[in-house]
Amino acid sequence: MSITLLYQYPEVVFASIIGVVMLLLNGRNDAPGYGEGVHAPAFLAEPAKTLLLYLPKNYLLWINRSLMHAGLRTNLSFGDFAAAKIYLPLLALPLAFFFLPYIAVIIALVLFWVPDLYLKVRVYKRQTEIQRALPQAIDLMVLCVDAGLGLDATLQRIASENSELLSALNDELLVLGREILLGADREKAYADLYTRTGVDELKTLGSALNQASVLGLSVSKILRAQSEFLRKRQSQKAEEKAMKMPVYMAFPLWFFVMPALMLLVLGPSLIRFYNTMSMGGG
């Protein structure tokens, strides 16, 4: 195929690239033992992981921590991220045949940072989901404790609750309950819960539950206090966002609304003034 044909039929080239990518991705689709979803094949993931290890150590630590906070904890998660990080920019190379080279370079740089942006969005979404579901989960825990269930049985009961609102939190509580059931130290299990999610509210809850078990305090009272504290904190965050709205609205107001308003108010006067000056000059 000549370069002229590439210029004439660019859609064929892009369709071929997409087809090859989808064919390669299906190589590890729903691999047994590695969770659901589409995964990069091993012959692509392993070289990408090797190349990614040359990046700064702090950046690699951020990737591992973000993958954990996002719930991507299978053996293939890091390889999938590395493959997206390395091979996505390579898809921009054929653009050099159709556009100026610097445009292809800019697109390649953008594609290089797309996996990071996706990871940040996923972490934020999951942490927000856990924060919103936590007060409701604590209320359910209070009901279970008041009904006579122990804390371990309560965690298992809440983790088995089928609710879209509690889905992410249920997964974490299920892991927490299994660790405690297997004999892990409670303080370490609560610390691991915060390490896996990065949600400060879970760190506070874990500390409170650990103190209740050590000091023999009432778990029900501790949970009620935590529920009230979390709801008050969410209310304060909502008020803080409401107070910031005028600042966020300043840019679109001054650069989009005000010019149109000034045009509507002053436009007729300016047209009349221009017509008057034209007639006077004539």
d(CA 203, CA 196): 11
Say what the pLDDT of residue 123 is.
95
Say what the pLDDT of residue 65 is.
94
Q: What is the pLDDT of residues 223-245, one digit of tens each?
A: 888 888 888 888 888 888 888 88
d(CA 242, CA 229): 20
Q: For residues 209 and 152, is the Cβ–Cβ distance under 8 A?
A: no
The pTM of this model reads 0.73
Q: What are phi and psi of 214, to 5 degrees?
A: -75, -45
DSSP state of 147: T
Q: What is the pLDDT of residues 90-147, one digit of tens each?
A: 887 777 677 777 788 888 888 899 999 999 999 999 999 998 888 888 888 888 888 8
Q: Would you call 227 helix, strand, or coil by DSSP?
A: helix
Say what the pLDDT of residue 166 is.
65
DSSP annotation string for 107-123: HHHHHHHHHHHHHHHHH
Say what the pLDDT of residue 69 is.
93
DSSP state of 97: G
pLDDT under 70: residue ranges of the chain = 1-38, 96, 162-166, 280-282
Say what the pLDDT of residue 33 is.
41
Q: Return all residues near 170 (Cβ < 8 A) that are at least 6 apart.
A: 158, 159, 160, 161, 163
